[in-house]
Structure 1
Amino acid sequence: MTRRVLLDVTPDRIAAAARRVMARCDELARVTAAPGSIERVYLSPEHARVNRLAAEWMREVGMRSWQDAAGNQMGRIERASDPDPAAPALMLGSHLDTVRDAGRFDGIVGVLMALEVVRLLRLPGESAVGLPFPLEVIAFSDEEGTRFGKALLGSSAVAGTWNDSWWTLTDADGLTLRQAFLEFGLDPGRIGEAARRPDQLVGYLEAHIEQGPELHRSEQPLAVVSSIASARRFQLTVEGEARHAGGTPYDMRRDALLGASEAALAVERICAAEHHIIGTVGQFEAFPGSVNVIPGETVFSLDLRGEFDGERDRVWDAISRELDEIMGRRSLRWNAREIHNAPAVRCAPLLQDVVREGITSTITDTAEEPPVIFSRAGHDGMAIGSIADVGMLFLRNPDGISHHPDEAVSGSDVALGIRALAESVLGLAMDKN
């Protein structure tokens, strides 16, 4: 295997970069709306605080920094030869928002690693890089969709795919997205200014912890991402009849909770029999919710993901047929409202190649090719893929746990990831020269 080592830096510099990333992950974890756990949602005071920190760190590595019209924090450093503010840039980054009771690395480590890559590639004494393109770092503002129930809001704005119907989305307190924009200091009428054109970007590269166990099981620190899962999300409602729990015999019951429970088990059974299809029921609520009343209505969620759109849709059709059978047998009615639909995004072959070469030039103690992994989790690259080629690098996540306080990554793997990401950027630069 050819190993093309392009980055001329000492191991001490890489180790210092990794220590900085780990320390800043800890620092950002202290910016939370929920003492004792990590919670940072879109357009919150915590969002503003981490944007200010990110801006400070961007300026520290020589970047010009600004907050865009959607609340994403941006940084840019020009190329040394022919510095042109209009030149298309290679974008690096990830997101700084979290789910509730989150871990400290999902998204965050990718933003901080990107900043360390800029530090490594910045020319001594200059606010410029010796590359054929400028570098941009983006800290996306709402990948998770925790507050308003719609994921990828920040990256959708950058991709120019913002939907004005989203302005009426509400949070748990009934505050609309439009009102939250205004309270944050953003102008809803200027959201279009966040959009980037395809001719403004060379591509998008993201480092991210794997949100699964494949690297942990194979004892590999890094992987090339081949594609990001297609996803559909539904809110399903099962309707029956609420009646007295003691006075209604079983042959007269139309129990919406039991029908929905059987449906949830059917989702597991159908998806477990498929290759690369994951179905999850994450929310479940019965009404009227009294201990002595048969549930007359149950509402639950379904998150359905697949490597290919066609396979995902075929499984949804199978689930729908199974729900028809279950509800017919139980004299219940059901309906589904689709609340999210995102096609699969395949990482660009060139960017897969430069990430692969970046990993092989970093990990020199093996003759094996780095693993190639399909991402079952969604990422901002799903939105950015509509305007630019996308590439991703995964870092090992012990036990594969994510969206949880036990989420983890080692400093040594971060060091490898920083070097591999920098090598990937340099490899792309060679291709563009």
Structure 2
Amino acid sequence: MTLPSLGSPDRIAAAARRVMNRCDELARVSAADQGIERVYLSAEHARVNRLAAEWMRELGMRTRQDAAGNQLGRLDVLDPSGAVISDAPALLIGSHLDTVPDAGRYDGIVGVLMGLEIVRLLRVPAGDSDSAWRSPFPFAIEVVAFSDEEGTRFGKALLGSSAVAGLWNDDWWALTDAAGTTLRQAFLEFGLDPGRIGEAARRPDSLVGYLEAHIEQGPELDRRGEALAVVSSIASARRFQLVVEGEARHAGGTPYDMRRDALLGASEAALAIERICRTEHHIIGTVGQFEAFPGAVNIVPGETHFSLDLRGEFDGERDRVFDEISRELDGIMGRRGLRWRSREVHNAAAVMCAPLLQDVVREGIGATGAPGASDPATIFSRAGHDAMTIGAITDVGMLFLRNPDGISHHPDEAVSAADVAAGIRALAESVVLLGHERR
């Protein structure tokens, strides 16, 4: 299969400029007066879905918003007579359009927009007319804009892709946002029918695989001076809410040998977590929340609550580290006359990218001629992505783009037009290679 137009540097540079301009356009769709904020089932969600659908239709794609609020466009496979093969499997390409509060403009968004440019590069005319288009492969190409990867509004991430993967949990309907609106009510207000959520689920035999391009949410590519990387896996993760119990007493009247200070015990625990994860294991441990009670300036803290986020490349190593942390906390609390307990609030297994999709992404990067392309970096993703849930129903592959200084979930996150152009070229080549594999 040869696609001569794919190699046109001017065409790919124009595609990258279009991605960058559309990232700017989507950044203006925000619930916040300052910064970017787009949450699930909001007016901003509806607006960006409409924009994405408009851009999909411009490319000759059939569009639909599914039962979970995800926006999809499909470039069909046609039979020799020109009729749509409606049951042809599809290669999904995409990411998400929702954001965290005070977000950057590229996390997730760049992956959706790059997917559209892949369609623009690879589509071929349907017959003699240039007004209709089809997929040149034995599979359709679908671009998906997932609706709730971040979990900002209801505190539960990956809702949109979970519905597509058939992993919806009816307990989620009772989730509430900061205003007390339930997820069920938000569905109704958005115009979706909670009773039809199962219609968003895809069958494994309806998919060829899933490819996602994403900015790296870390500095490794920037430090290597390389534009692109193959993603090997998405980190396993466990999250806990921990409570340290001591005794609240008068700060002035209680001597040190009688204090059971829950804040100091929790502080020592947080430092132990850093030491164990940073110096003894390749596991990322983060204490992101910390609150002491009763919280008065003149009272020894009697109780402290804090969070623990553990991430690692492999589930077993992550679990062994938590066991070691637990033993360390037993020792700390025993010495200080304190008690501690934990409640697990999240557990996600590592998701390995499929070997074939890693290979085609690697070869696609190699075709770009960018620095490091001949032997591109292979990186495991320490952040979660929609590919984690889609991996339950089909093979997944990911491509990372350099993010200067590695900053993300922040207005300063960045990607260059040159790197986006390299990423578009690499991902398009990857799809072509996959097309060869499927013939």
TM beyond 0.5: yes
One of 386, 391, 394 as aligned partner of 2:400: 394
Q: Distance in 1 between matches of 2:252 and 2:421?
A: 63
SS at match of 1:23: helix
Residue 97 of structure 1 pairs with residue 104 of structure 2: no
One-letter amino acid of the counterpart of residue 354, structure 2: A
**Could you say which residue in structure 2 is the equivalent of 1:42?**
40
Report the secondary structure of 2:299's partner residue. coil
Q: 1:313 to 1:154 in 2, by over 3 A?
A: same
Equivalent residue letter for 2:85: D
Counterpart position of 1:171: 177
The residue that corresponds to 1:136 in the other structure is 142
Distance of 2:338 and 2:282 partners within structure 1: 31
CA deviations over 1:123-149 (Å, ceiling 9, x no partner): 142231211110111111111112222
Distance 1:31 1:246 in 2: 53
Letter in structure 2 aligned against 1:33? A
Percent identity, aligned pairs only, is: 78
SS at match of 2:394: coil
Structure-2 change in CA distance of 1:366 and 1:217 (3 Å): closer
**What residue number does 1:381 align with?**
387
Q: CA deviation at 1:345?
A: 0.7
What is the DSSP-based 3-state SS (H/G/I as helix, E as strand, rest coil) of the residue aligned with 2:102? Answer: coil
| Alignment match, 1:120 | 121
Q: Could you list the per-position Cα deviations for residues 344-368 of structure 1 after superposition, in whole angstroms to 9, with x for gaps in the alignment? A: 1111011011101111111267673
Residue type at the aligned position of 1:260: A
1:153 aligns with 2:170: no
Paired with 1:159 and 1:312, the residues of 2 have a C-alpha distance of 25
- Conservation of the 8 A alpha-carbon contact between 1:5 and 1:423: no
Matched residue, 1:225: 231
Q: Which residue of 2 aligns with 1:73?
A: 71
Partner of 2:313: 307
Distance 1:281 1:428 in 2: 42
Choose which of 207, 212, 217 in structure 1 pairs with 2:213.
207
Mapped contact 1:6–1:427 kept (Cα < 8 A): no
Match of 1:347 in 2: 353
SS of structure 2 residue aligned to 1:165: helix
CA contact (8 A) 1:223 1:393 kept: yes
Judge conservation of contact 1:81–1:130 (CA < 8 Å) in 2. no
Q: Distance in 1 between matches of 2:4 and 2:357?
A: 18
Which blocks of at least 5 consecutive residues in structure 1 are unaligned?
none
Paired residues in the alignment total 430
What pairs up with 1:255-266 in 2 under 5 angstroms?
A: 255-266=261-272
User: Residue 284 of structure 1 aligns to which amino acid in structure 2?
Assistant: F
Question: What do you get for the CA RMSD once the two structures are aligned?
Answer: 1.6
Q: What SS is found at the alignment partner of 1:109?
A: helix
CA gap of 1:101–1:5, structure 2 versus 1, over 3 A, is farther
**Judging changes above 3 Å, is the alpha-carbon distance between structure 1 residues 238 and 262 closer, same or farther for their aligned structure 2 residues?**
same
Give 1:8's aligned amino acid: S
Code of the aligned partner of 2:37: E
1:6 touches 1:423 (CA, 8 Å); kept in 2? no
| Aligned equivalent of 1:430 | 436
Matches within 5 A, 1:266-345: 266-345=272-351
CA shift for structure 1 position 208? 0.5
Residue 25 of structure 1 corresponds to: 23
The answer on whether the counterparts of 1:355 and 1:420 sit within 8 Å (CA) in structure 2 is yes
CA distance in 1, matches of 2:303, 2:137: 60
Where 2:325 maps in the other structure, the secondary structure is helix
- In structure 2, the residue matched to 1:8 is 5
Aligned equivalent of 1:359: 365
Cα distance in 1 for partners of 2:4, 2:244 equals: 58
Q: Partners of 1:48 and 1:246 in 2: how far apart?
A: 57
CA contact (8 A) 1:352 1:392 kept: yes
Query: Aligned-pair distance for 1:172?
Result: 2.2
